[in-house]
Amino acid sequence: MKKILLMVMMTAFIAFGCQKKEEPQQFQPPLGQVPQGGLGAPGQGVDTAKLLQEEVKKDPKNLNAWINLGNIMMDTHRYQEAIDAYTKALELDPRNVNVRVDMGTCYRNANKPDIAVREYKKALEIDPAHINAHKNMAVVLAYDLHDNKQAVKEFEKALELAPNAPDAGAVKAEIQKLKAAAK
pLDDT per residue rounded down to tens, the chain (183 residues): 444 333 333 333 333 333 344 433 344 444 433 333 344 444 455 688 889 999 999 999 999 999 999 999 999 999 999 999 999 999 999 999 999 999 999 999 999 999 999 999 999 999 999 999 999 999 999 999 999 999 999 999 999 999 999 999 999 999 999 999 877
- What confidence score (pLDDT) does residue 6 get? 35
Going from the C-alpha of 172 to that of each of 100, 113, 135, the distances in angstroms are 26, 23, 12
Task: Please identify, in words, the CATH class of the domain defined by 1-10+43-94.
Answer: mainly alpha
**5-24 b/e (C-beta count within 10 Å ≥ 16 → b):** eeeeebeebbeebbeeeeee
Q: Which tens digits make up the pLDDT trace of 33-77?
A: 333 334 444 445 568 888 999 999 999 999 999 999 999 999 999
- Numbered ranges of CATH 1.25.40.10 in the chain: 1-10+43-94, 96-183
Q: What is the fold, at CATH topology level, of the domain defined by 96-183?
A: 1.25.40
d(CA 131, CA 138): 11
How many CA within 13 A on the CB side of residue 88?
A: 21
Whole-number Cα distances in Å, 165 to 1, 46, 49, 66: 48, 34, 33, 30
Q: How many CA atoms are closer than 13 Å to the CA of 166, on its beta-carbon side?
A: 7
Residue 31 pLDDT: 40
